[in-house]
């Protein structure tokens, strides 16, 4: 079975500083990987996805992630965060016709 591990439950970061949210996956076969975001009082929405091709994937709101097969990682990055990035971020992997989510990382933006 596929799974993802998000290494940090909470990440505090100052506004305009860079951020990295870490995610490792467990799979011996090709995977599709995703990052979803859940803003306060809103439903989850897709931030970006890796299906194949370029290992650097760009998403909405200036986020990007890099697929690293040798390290089985799919870390999410943003060079400069804004207060509006306050949210919970979920790494996810496809399994059959389902999406399996990690436990989430809460991003706190400090003024």
Partner 1 sequence: DTGVSQDPRHKITKRGQNVTFRCDPISEHNRLYWYRQTLGQGPEFLTYFQNEAQLEKSRLLSDRFSAERPKGSFSTLEIQRTEQGDSAMYLCASSPQGASGTGELFFGEGSRLTVL
Enumerate residues 6+ apart whose C-beta is below 8 A from 58.
48, 64
| 70 touching partner 1, by CB under 8 A | no
**Taking CA 60 as the corner, what is the angle to CA 21 and CA 103, rounded to the nearest 5 degrees?**
35
22, 102 Cβ separation under 8 angstroms = no
72, 26 Cβ separation under 8 angstroms = yes
Q: How far is the CB of 24 from partner 1 (least distance, A)?
A: 14
| 35 touching partner 1, by CB under 8 A | no
Q: How far is the CB of 76 from partner 1 (least distance, A)?
A: 14
Q: How far is the CB of 45 from partner 1 (least distance, A)?
A: 7
Residues forming the site for partner 1 (CB under 8 A): 9, 32, 34, 41-46, 49, 51, 90, 92, 94, 96-104
């Amino acid at each position: 079975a596929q799974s993802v591990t998000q290494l940090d439950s909470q990440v505090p970061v100052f506004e305009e500083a860079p951020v990295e949210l870490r995610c490792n996956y467990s799979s011996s076969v090709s995977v599709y990987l995703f990052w979803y975001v859940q803003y306060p009082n809103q439903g989850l929405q897709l931030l970006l996805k890796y299906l194949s091709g370029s290992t650097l994937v760009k998403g909405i709101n200036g986020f990007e992630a890099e697929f690293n097969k040798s390290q089985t990682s799919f870390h999410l990055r943003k060079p400069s965060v804004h207060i509006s990035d306050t949210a919970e971020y979920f790494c996810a992997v496809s399994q059959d016709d389902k999406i399996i989510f990690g436990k989430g990382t809460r991003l706190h933006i400090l003024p």
